[in-house]
């Protein structure tokens, strides 16, 4: 096992050495990092990385952008990147959200990915600023062993860099890795390295050139549920008669170490702290307030083992699948509920209506590999447009329901690698004339009238054959 790991480490060192020489002549050298601190949280299956950078402008021209680099191994697992800038001094310090966009560099080798942070104001020569960066990684914990029995704990690998990968010269940097428990099987040492309880400290390291790379491997115990929704389809249907109907179709899998052997429900129920510690038997969904007509069912039928708690601010639905989920096990189910329309539909200043709803997955601490969000507009709606605070794929469809003539416009939003931070509000704008609300009642009235006329005509027409 050590030979493939060493081969990958050698390949990574060669790659980023090449990256350094390629980018050495770029105009980024006028910025430098005086101090960098990174904190990696491995307490769940979603890796959260908090990065604090103190940046100085050592050049002669103002700088308005800061570049972040990510190794190829993290590109496909990168879910979100956010940046904040500290403004003010001491007790009057405030945080300002900064715009972050992915950037393509022509000289980036082997699919290395870059993000550009746009500063709120240009950083003049000799000035410094502090940035707070948060990024999350999914599917970055590798179960080892890949299969475990019901009574065994789950051990995972985490691979990263002891040094912070940056395209700038770094004077001093430190990395802290937090594990969920004290049970750490092994970890790579890159001196100075210290471990105290659940925290591993790498550094401080002094005067490191751009794109410095030193691979590390941490092998530790992590029994948190690896709840992954392989596919989630959320459909919100708007009815101007006062209701909002939401339907959510889930394909859920436990993405941790696969279960091997025979499952014993007796041992699982009698000794839950020793059997199946990495499994999960229930999920918590956070729904909007004033929810009603809630149902939860799978392919067999309705599942009654659920609990709904509501108050004026939120609603929580605790659901239990028909069986506990171990590594590699799947479950498919549907959650549906209704909401009052006046809580989510509003009118804008340009005579447009817009839906203000929450994107993402209602299940807490869950990764969604593919999320499809469908907003079904009333028949007769025109000029639909969606405003989402992060990049998504958008297109339009047409859906036919009861008594529809031309069909209903459906705004479809698709996104991959969705994490809880994506549970933010978005808006769907459209125009609608109230006269279209009378279309279905008039159609029903016309149908009944024609039926009545047909009945009267049938009773008064003599169809018999006479001489």
Q: What's the pLDDT at 43?
A: 92
101 assigned to some structural domain: yes
Cα-based distances in Å from 359 to 75, 240, 247, 287, 339:
23, 21, 14, 12, 16
Quick check: 134 and 98 in contact, CB under 8 A? no
Residues 368 and 257 in one domain: yes
Q: What's the pLDDT at 386?
A: 94
Tally the C-alpha atoms within 13 A of residue 359's C-alpha that lie toward its C-beta: 26
425 assigned to some structural domain: yes
Quick check: 43 and 50 in contact, CB under 8 A? no
For residue 44, give the nearest of 177, 224, 278, 185 by alpha carbon: 224
Q: What's the pLDDT at 11?
A: 44
Cβ neighbours, 10 Å, residue 292: 12
- Domain boundary among the residues 189, 221, 253 is at 221
Domain interval for residue 239: 227-437
442 assigned to some structural domain: no
How far is Cα 262 from Cα 276, in angstroms, rounded to an integer? 12
> For residue 238, what are its two tokens?
């708007």
458 assigned to some structural domain: no
Q: What's the pLDDT at 26?
A: 46
Q: What's the pLDDT at 15?
A: 45
Q: What's the pLDDT at 151?
A: 84
Residues 157 and 260 in one domain: no
Strand order in the sheet with 306-310: 283-287, 315-319, 306-310
DSSP letter at 75? H
For residue 378, give the nearest of 425, 437, 450, 291 by alpha carbon: 437
Residues 191 and 259 in one domain: no
Residues 402 and 418 in one domain: yes
Q: What's the pLDDT at 19?
A: 44
456 assigned to some structural domain: no
Longest dimension (CA), the chain: 116
Phi-psi region of 90 (alpha: psi -120 to 50; beta: other; left: phi over 0): left
pLDDT in tens, the chain (467 residues): 444 444 444 444 444 444 444 444 344 558 899 999 999 999 999 999 999 999 998 888 888 999 998 888 888 899 999 999 987 776 677 888 999 998 887 776 556 788 999 998 898 888 889 999 999 999 999 999 999 988 889 999 999 999 998 888 999 999 999 999 999 999 999 999 999 989 999 989 999 988 888 899 999 999 988 999 999 999 999 988 889 999 999 999 999 999 988 888 777 777 766 677 888 888 899 999 999 999 999 888 887 778 889 888 889 999 888 888 898 999 999 999 999 999 999 988 888 899 999 999 999 989 999 999 999 998 888 899 999 999 999 999 998 877 666 788 999 999 999 999 999 999 999 998 776 656 667 767 777 888 888 888 878 787 777 65
448 assigned to some structural domain: no
Residues 389 and 249 in one domain: yes
- Mode of pairing for the β-strands spanning 330-340 and 315-319: unpaired
Please give the model's pTM, rounded to 2 decimal places: 0.84
CATH number of the domain to which 56 belongs = 2.60.40.1730
Q: Helix %, strand %, coil % for the chain, to 5?
A: 15, 50, 35
Residues 288 and 310 in one domain: yes
Residues 293 and 428 in one domain: yes
449 assigned to some structural domain: no
Residues 121 and 140 in one domain: yes
For the chain, the domain total comes to 2
116 assigned to some structural domain: yes
Quick check: 182 and 153 in contact, CB under 8 A? no
Q: What residues pair up with 381 in beta bridges, in sequence order?
A: none
Residues 212 and 136 in one domain: yes
Residues 262 and 404 in one domain: yes
Residues 141 and 241 in one domain: no
Q: What's the pLDDT at 467?
A: 57
Residues 407 and 278 in one domain: yes
């Amino acid at each position: 096992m050590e030979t493939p790991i060493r081969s990958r480490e050698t390949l990574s060192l060669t790659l980023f050495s090449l990256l350094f020489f390629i980018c050495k002549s770029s105009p980024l050298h006028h910025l430098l990092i005086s101090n960098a601190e990174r904190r990696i949280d491995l307490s769940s299956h979603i890796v959260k990385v908090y990065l604090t950078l103190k940046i100085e402008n050592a050049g002669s021209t103002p700088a308005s952008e800061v570049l972040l680099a990510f190794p190829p191994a993290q590109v496909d697992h990168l879910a979100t990147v956010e940046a904040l800038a500290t403004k003010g001094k001491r007790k009057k310090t405030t945080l300002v959200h900064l715009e972050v966009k992915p950037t393509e560099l022509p000289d980036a080798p082997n699919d290395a990915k870059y993000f550009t942070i746009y500063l709120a104001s240009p950083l003049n020569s000799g000035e410094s600023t502090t940035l707070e960066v948060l990024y999350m990684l999914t599917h970055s914990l590798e179960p080892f062993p890949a299969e475990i029995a019901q009574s065994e704990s789950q051990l995972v690998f985490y691979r990263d860099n002891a040094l912070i990968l940056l395209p700038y010269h770094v004077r001093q940097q430190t990395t802290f890795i937090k594990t969920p428990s004290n049970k750490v099987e092994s970890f790579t040492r890159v001196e100075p390295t210290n471990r105290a309880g659940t925290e591993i400290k790498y550094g401080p390291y002094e005067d490191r050139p751009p794109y410095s790379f030193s691979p590390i491997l941490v092998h530790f115990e992590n029994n948190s549920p690896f709840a992954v929704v392989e596919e989630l389809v959320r459909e919100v249907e708007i009815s101007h008669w006062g209701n909002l109907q939401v339907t959510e179709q889930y394909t859920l899998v436990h993405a941790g170490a696969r279960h091997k052997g025979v499952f014993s429900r007796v041992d699982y129920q009698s000794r839950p702290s020793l059997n199946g510690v990495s499994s999960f038997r229930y999920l918590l969904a956070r729904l909007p307030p004033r929810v009603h007509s809630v149902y939860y069912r799978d392919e067999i039928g309705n599942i009654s083992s659920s609990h709904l708690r509501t108050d004026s601010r939120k609603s929580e639905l605790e659901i239990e699948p028909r069986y506990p989920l171990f590594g590699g096990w799947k479950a498919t189910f549907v959650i549906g509920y209704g909401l009052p329309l006046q809580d989510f539909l509003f009118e804008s200043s340009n005579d447009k209506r817009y839906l203000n709803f929450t994107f993402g997955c209602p299940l807490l601490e869950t990764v969604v590999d593919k999320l499809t969000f469908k907003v079904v507009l009333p028949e007769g709606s025109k000029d639909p447009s969606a405003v989402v605070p992060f990049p998504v794929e958008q297109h339009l469809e047409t859906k036919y329901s009861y008594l529809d003539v031309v069909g209903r416009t459906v705004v479809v939003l698709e996104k991959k690698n969705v994490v809880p931070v994506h549970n933010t509000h978005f808006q769907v704008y459209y125009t609608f004339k109230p006269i279209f609300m009378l279309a279905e009642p008039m159609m029903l009235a016309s149908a009944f009238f024609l039926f009545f006329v047909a009945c009267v005509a049938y009773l008064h027409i003599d169809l018999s054959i006479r001489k």
